[in-house]
Amino acid sequence: MPKQSPIPDEVDQGFWDACNEDRLVIQNCTACDRLQQPPMATCYQCSSGASLEWKQMSGRGFIYTYAVMYDTPVPLLFEDQPFNAAVVGLFDDNGDDSGIKLLSHLPGTPLDDVPMDAEVMVEFEVTKGTGQKVPEFRVVG
Amino acid sequence: MAPEVQEMPTSWFRTAEGDGVWEGKAKTVAVGVGVSPTDRRWDSDPQTSLGAYALIAARRAIEDAGVPPDQIDGLVVVQSTTTGRAGWPQPWPDGRDVPAEMAAAFKATDDDRDGIAQLSAQWVMNNLPELSNLKFVMHAPGDTAPALVAGCEGIVRGLASTVLVIRGWHNFSGRYYVGQGEARGDTISGGEKWTTGWGVVGVYPEATRFQRYLHKYGKRKEMMANFVVNSKKNGLNFPEGFFAQNRPDDVVTREDYLTSRWLAKPANLYDADMPIMCVSSFLLTTPERAKDMKQKPVYILGHAQSTVRPRSLQHTLEESEEGAARMGRLYQEAAGISVNDLSFENMYDGYGMFHLLHLEGLGGFAGIGRGDGLEYFENEDISNDSKYPISPSGGNIGSGRTRFWLHVDSIQQIQGRAGARQMKFPAEVGISAATFPHSGVSLVWSATP
């Protein structure tokens, strides 16, 4: 599906650069060993900016929930309505829920036939505006 | 000389568990209520502007209480009046002229959007000259509930003895969000890139929490129908509300609800409120001063604020449930009551799902626990004739987006002047709260100290 191209800023540049390399990274505070998303200038927990890094994720996750959008505000998506819009939870290194969430249109999943809790894997989609890649998730298994 | 306008200190909110009963318990009462006419949108007439409606509401509250205006020594106003999301759309569109007639009709401030797209305390003071003895003037953040907290805390802290609270909403032509701000164009910047970038906005977070709720507890979306029908019915019995005034024949049936168009499935049009223009005002004072006023005093037993920060992109269902449960503990502690003391609940319903989670967090109102609400809506009497009325005000869904019908109704129910909405069983103690289950402020109202 078409998407707007995200314009990176100085806080989230690392995330989007990694997407362009087909890698999913999430901001991590090494002092707290805590992921955070969306990215921030400092760690939410310890307020340190110096201990933030980009942590490579496996790209695996699960469908936490979803809705079918019939009333999108984005003109670029008008023609594609209705469409699935899911909240995906990312797994951590141990395969547990990391608490981090991203949105997805679930490419390959039929409209409103979304398997809750199903495992998904990240893939990357090129957006037309600038060519910036964005993460998307496809049901696996 | 008019007093300086203060900003409400965040320390005035009661946020921590273990603080015990509120020291201001039953030291303040609500006596008068005033509500302006309602409109779907502003028609650019100064006499139907936000400012004009604020003056109407304020004077109605003063008249309702029967207090001479020069005895009012406190004023609390909510400055933001948008029915959309703060900052999007902008308070006033770039390049759009403010109608010149406004300047002729009212005493302006140095911001010409005042009285149209925002409401400052200074604008109110400029145009309500009868408030001649103010010594405490404050802007409250966000909404009616914080403003009522500011009003009663101002009294408890000895800053004033009789406070007028004003909260208004403007609504202009055009649709919010759609094709506006970051949604337009081929690129997207700022925080919206993580959400709007996938084409979602507005009802989406609530729709997804509702989806998770249905999955988690094995419920069906149809089980919300009776709640919406009941709220719509209560709204038509609310003479101050939008639908009673403007669409009195707009009865919504279960069938209407089940066939309504989707916004973000499983949320449909009737799960959402409708933006309107309207202003409310409340007259708060001490029990001693209330003896000389017209209406029965309604005691404020306590207030509480519950806030849970989302771990990631948006609040999860579990975070919302945590916030609602925390509110359930906080209000009981602050007011020194148990959930069994509540005669009614007027929790927020800007989306119907909010009400469900708020209700389940109250601590067992009508025996309702987590995951029980839809079953209760489906199988029990939730009307105002029942032992446990559910949202007797009808809330935002029943009367339009204001977030204050719940407070107005709580006061009127206890005063016994809710008219066709009046509860069958005695309204002794009630709770109202807004906005979200994960971030809200509640007040506990009572017929007695």
pLDDT digits 0-9 by tens, A22-48:
999 999 999 999 999 999 999 999 999
In chain B, DSSP finds a helix count (H) and a strand count (E) of 14, 13
Mean of pLDDT values over B124-128: 98
Residues 257-296 of B with CB under 8 A from A: 261-267
Greatest Cα pair distance, chain B, in angstroms, is 63
In chain A, where are the structural domains located? 8-56, 57-141
Q: What is the pLDDT, as a whole number, of residue A22?
A: 98
Q: What is the pLDDT, as a whole number, of residue B100?
A: 85
B223 three-state secondary structure: helix
Strand runs labelled E in B91-148: 136-140
3 state SS for B396-449: HHHHCECCCHHHHHHHHHHHCCCHHHCCCCCCCEEEEEEEECCEEEEEEEECCC
Which tokens in the block code for residue B415?
Answer: 């005063």
Residue A72 vs residues B212, B336, B379: alpha-carbon distances, Å: 20, 45, 34
Q: What percent of chain B has pLDDT over 90?
A: 90
Among the listed residues B140, B192, B435, the one whose alpha carbon sits nearest the alpha carbon of residue B307: B435
Residue B449 has pLDDT above 80, yes or no: yes
Is A128 in Cβ contact with B208 (below 8 Å)?
A: no
Q: What is the pLDDT, as a whole number, of residue B84?
A: 74
Is B316 in Cβ contact with A64 (below 8 Å)?
A: yes
pLDDT-derived band at B35 (thresholds 50, 70, 90) equals very high
Chain A residues bordering chain B (beta-carbon distance below 8 Å)? 3-7, 9, 12, 36-38, 44, 64-77, 82-83, 85, 87, 99-105, 112, 116-117, 127-130, 134
The Cβ-side half-sphere exposure at A7, using a 13 Å CA radius, reads 9
Q: How many angstroms away from the CA of A87 is the closest CA of chain B? A: 8
Which CATH number is A57-141 given? 2.40.50
pLDDT-derived band at B423 (thresholds 50, 70, 90) equals very high
What is the C-alpha separation between A63 and B331, in angstroms, rounded?
A: 35
What is the pTM (predicted TM-score) of this model?
0.96
Q: What is the pLDDT, as a whole number, of residue B103?
A: 86
Residues 6 or more apart whose CB falls under 8 angstroms from that of A96 comprise none
Among the listed residues B120, B357, B405, the one whose alpha carbon sits nearest the alpha carbon of residue B235: B405
Across chain B, what does the average pLDDT equal? Answer: 95
Q: Closest partner residue to B199 among A9, A74, A129, by Cβ?
A: A74
Q: What is the pLDDT, as a whole number, of residue A61?
A: 98
First and final C-alpha spacing in chain A:
22
Residue A100 has pLDDT above 90, yes or no: yes
Partners of A70 on chain B (C-beta within 8 Å) are 261-265
Q: What is the pLDDT, as a whole number, of residue B405?
A: 98
Is A72 in Cβ contact with B200 (below 8 Å)?
A: yes
Q: Does B215 touch chain A (CB under 8 A)?
A: yes
pLDDT-derived band at B425 (thresholds 50, 70, 90) equals very high
Which tokens in the block code for residue B437?
Answer: 């289950």
Residue with tokens 């902008």: B90
Which residue type, as a one-letter code, is found at position B3? P
What is the C-alpha separation between B168 and B309, in angstroms, rounded?
A: 27
What is the C-alpha separation between B25 and B156, in angstroms, rounded?
A: 9
Write the ipTM.
Answer: 0.97
Partners of B200 on chain A (C-beta within 8 Å) are 67, 69, 72, 85, 103
Q: Closest partner residue to A38 among B177, B265, B313, by Cβ?
A: B313
Q: Closest partner residue to A83 among B199, B266, B312, by Cβ?
A: B199
Which tokens in the block code for residue B372?
Answer: 């029980």
Q: Closest partner residue to A4 among B197, B311, B316, by Cβ?
A: B197
pLDDT digits (tens, 9 = 90+) for A110-130: 999 999 999 999 999 999 999
First and final C-alpha spacing in chain B:
36
Q: What is the pLDDT, as a whole number, of residue B266?
A: 98
Q: Does B209 touch chain A (CB under 8 A)?
A: yes
pLDDT digits (tens, 9 = 90+) for B258-304: 999 999 999 999 999 999 999 999 999 999 999 999 999 999 999 99
Residue B74 has pLDDT above 70, yes or no: yes
Burial category of A111 from C-beta neighbours within 10 Å (exposed 0-12, middle 13-18, buried 19 and up): exposed
Partners of A65 on chain B (C-beta within 8 Å) are 208-209, 211-212, 215, 317
For residues B130 and B63, is the Cβ–Cβ distance under 8 A?
no
Q: What is the pLDDT, as a whole number, of residue A45?
A: 94
Question: Which element (helix H / strand E) includes B167?
Answer: strand B162-169
For residues B98 and B92, is the Cβ–Cβ distance under 8 A?
yes
Q: What is the pLDDT, as a whole number, of residue B184?
A: 83
The Cβ-side half-sphere exposure at B296, using a 13 Å CA radius, reads 16
Residue A76 has pLDDT above 80, yes or no: yes
For residues B144 and B168, is the Cβ–Cβ distance under 8 A?
no
Residues 6 or more apart whose CB falls under 8 angstroms from that of B164 comprise B58, B61, B62, B72, B74, B75, B76, B131, B281, B282, B283, B284
Q: What is the pLDDT, as a whole number, of residue B377?
A: 98
Which tokens in the block code for residue B270?
Answer: 């009737």
Is B262 in Cβ contact with A82 (below 8 Å)?
A: yes
Mean of pLDDT values over B390-399: 98
DSSP H helices, chain A, are 13-20
Q: How many angstroms away from the CA of A136 is the closest CA of chain B? A: 10
Q: How many angstroms away from the CA of A93 is the closest CA of chain B? A: 18
For residues B117 and B81, is the Cβ–Cβ distance under 8 A?
yes
Residue with tokens 């719940």: B406
Residues 291-350 of B with CB under 8 A from A: 309, 311-314, 316-317
Is B194 in Cβ contact with A38 (below 8 Å)?
A: yes
Q: How many angstroms away from the CA of B214 is the closest CA of chain A? A: 10
For residues A34 and B216, is the Cβ–Cβ distance under 8 A?
no
What is the C-alpha separation between B368 and B142, in angstroms, rounded?
A: 30
Nearest CA in chain B to A6: B188
Which CATH number is B8-171+276-290 given? 3.40.47
Burial category of A23 from C-beta neighbours within 10 Å (exposed 0-12, middle 13-18, buried 19 and up): middle
Q: Closest partner residue to B211 among A7, A67, A102, by Cβ?
A: A67
pLDDT-derived band at B112 (thresholds 50, 70, 90) equals confident
Range of lowest pLDDT (B90-104, B164-178, B226-240, B308-322): B90-104
Residue B62 has pLDDT above 70, yes or no: yes
Mean of pLDDT values over B32-51: 96
Q: How many angstroms away from the CA of B24 is the closest CA of chain A? A: 34
Which fold, B201-274+298-449? Peroxisomal Thiolase; Chain A, domain 1 (3.40.47)
Q: What is the pLDDT, as a whole number, of residue B320?
A: 98
Which residues make beta-bridge pairs with B390? B345
Partners of A83 on chain B (C-beta within 8 Å) are 199
Question: Which element (helix H / strand E) includes B267?
Answer: strand B267-268
Q: What is the pLDDT, as a whole number, of residue A25?
A: 98
What DSSP character marks residue B226? H
pLDDT digits (tens, 9 = 90+) for B346-381: 999 999 999 999 999 999 999 999 999 999 999 999
Q: How many angstroms away from the CA of A13 is the closest CA of chain B? A: 12
Residue B75's CB is within 10 A of a number of other CB atoms, namely 27
What is the C-alpha separation between B401 and B391, in angstroms, rounded?
A: 15
Among the listed residues B10, B320, B50, B36, the one whose alpha carbon sits nearest the alpha carbon of residue B142: B10
pLDDT-derived band at B178 (thresholds 50, 70, 90) equals confident
Question: Which element (helix H / strand E) includes B268?
Answer: strand B267-268
Is B194 in Cβ contact with A67 (below 8 Å)?
A: no
Q: What is the pLDDT, as a whole number, of residue B172?
A: 87
Question: Which element (helix H / strand E) includes B290?
Answer: helix B287-290
Q: Does B67 touch chain A (CB under 8 A)?
A: no
Q: What is the pLDDT, as a whole number, of residue B95?
A: 67
Q: Where in chain B is the domain with CATH 3.40.47.10?
A: 201-274+298-449
- Torsion-angle region of residue B349: left (phi > 0), alpha (psi -120 to 50) or beta? alpha
